[in-house]
Amino acid sequence: MSYLDDLFGLQDQTAIVSGGAGVIGTMMSAALLSAGARVTLWSRTQESVDAAVTKLATSPESADRVDGRRLDTGSETEVETALNKVIARFGSPDILINAVGGNFSKGPLVETDMEQFKQILHLNLVAGLMVPTKVVAAHWIKNQIRGAIINLTSMTSYNPLSGVWAYDAAKAGVLNLTMAAANEFAPHGIRVNAVAPGFFLGKQNRALLIDEKTGEHTARGKAIIEHTPFRRFGQVEELVGATLFLASNTAAGFVTGISIPVDGGYLAHNI
Ligand SMILES: NC(=O)c1ccc[n+]([C@@H]2O[C@H](COP(=O)([O-])OP(=O)(O)OC[C@H]3O[C@@H](n4cnc5c(N)ncnc54)[C@H](O)[C@@H]3O)[C@@H](O)[C@H]2O)c1
């Protein structure tokens, strides 16, 4: 095995990627597969699961190491059933990526639709973190498995974005829970970290950043680019390095409770 395989290789490891049919989840799944892992992706619709699995199964060998399942990751019973299916097919998971999440609301605080507010908290904190973490970590603790969790934080975890009240609160919560869970699980050898993407075009933020009619950046899209020293949105491939680093117990064996910004300098922006 080469030096880099030793450090970053994930041969004989099994990963669950919740939200694995999303823009970021699919790229992270592809990275884990390329590093040798078996990957199960979880998503909300069968159509999205099938499309992502087809995209990832680029050879008969990789097709043997990838599958997917339709479920609601906000449901404990569905996540428990899905975990048992992973164990039956690939063995106990070693890696959990929580990539369910997103935002679909923006406006003045006083006009906030409280039902949407709760839905966004639920999407990012309950379906996007708590339920899969609770179920998978319970399995790891019971079976003394030194697993690794990677959550998806955001620029809003550090500084609020205007008008996205629930998303601001939820992603600040994801960073907080990443650190809190890292403390709680450290005695079990379980690491909990996060990747904080800057701005990447996903299914749920596209309409906020690109004008569908003209294909041009919206005013918000322009403001973000102006605030990003690299003056562009990120390409999802640029999340691969941080993902593989955090997933590897060799490369990141003493790393827990951190969030790595991959943001073209957005958080370092000055005037
Ligand atoms: N795209 C960005 O610029 C960006 C930036 C920072 C953070 N993030 C975060 O990264 C994560 C992934 O973002 P993305 O852009 O790939 O989003 P996406 O919308 O492309 O993917 C999210 C996936 O989660 C699935 N999903 C939603 N609810 C679910 C549920 N209850 N059960 C199962 N699956 C469910 C969706 O079907 C979708 O496939 C999110 O947490 C997002 O907040 C994204």
- Is pLDDT above 90 for 57? yes
- Is pLDDT above 80 for 203? no
Active site residue 3: no
**Which atom belonging to ligand 1 lies closest to the Cα atom of 72?**
32
State the chain's mean pLDDT as an integer: 96
Q: Which of 26, 44, 122 to mutate to test the pocket of ligand 1 (most atoms within 8 A of CB)?
A: 44
Asked if residue 23 has its Cβ within 6 Å of ligand 1, the reply is yes
- Is pLDDT above 80 for 187? yes
CATH topology of domain 3-198+242-260: Rossmann fold (3.40.50)
Exactly one of 3, 158, 167, 266 is catalytic; name it: 167
- Is pLDDT above 80 for 175? yes
- φ, ψ (nearest 5 deg) of residue 170: -65, -45
Scanning 148-190, the segments in alpha helix (DSSP H) are 165-185
pLDDT single digits (tens) 253-266:
999 999 999 999 99
For range 133-152, the mean pLDDT: 98
Q: Which of 43, 195, 237 to mutate to test the pocket of ligand 1 (most atoms within 8 A of CB)?
A: 43
Q: Where are the domains of the chain?
A: 3-198+242-260, 201-233
| Cα–Cα distance for residue pair 100/123, rounded to 1 Å | 7
pTM, two decimals, is 0.97
Beta strands in 219-271 (DSSP E): 259-262
Contacts of 28 (CB under 8 A, 6+ apart): 17, 20, 97, 99, 150, 239, 240, 243
Q: Cα(43) to centroid of ligand 1, in Å?
A: 10
Query: Alpha-carbon torsion 42, 46, 50, 52, what sign?
Result: negative
Q: Cα(19) to centroid of ligand 1, in Å?
A: 6
Tell the residue nearest (CA) to atom 20 of ligand 1: 22
Predicted confidence at residue 131, as pLDDT, reads: 99
Q: Cα(181) to centroid of ligand 1, in Å?
A: 21
Q: Which of 69, 152, 259 to mutate to test the pocket of ligand 1 (most atoms within 8 A of CB)?
A: 152
pLDDT single digits (tens) 218-229:
999 999 999 999
Residues 129 and 152: beta-carbon distance below 8 Å = no
- Is pLDDT above 80 for 251? yes
| 207: confidence class by pLDDT, cuts 50, 70, 90 | confident
Burial of 109 (0-12, 13-18, 19+ CB in 10 A): exposed
Predicted confidence at residue 206, as pLDDT, reads: 84
Asked if residue 44 has its Cβ within 6 Å of ligand 1, the reply is yes
- Is pLDDT above 80 for 205? no
Predicted confidence at residue 130, as pLDDT, reads: 98
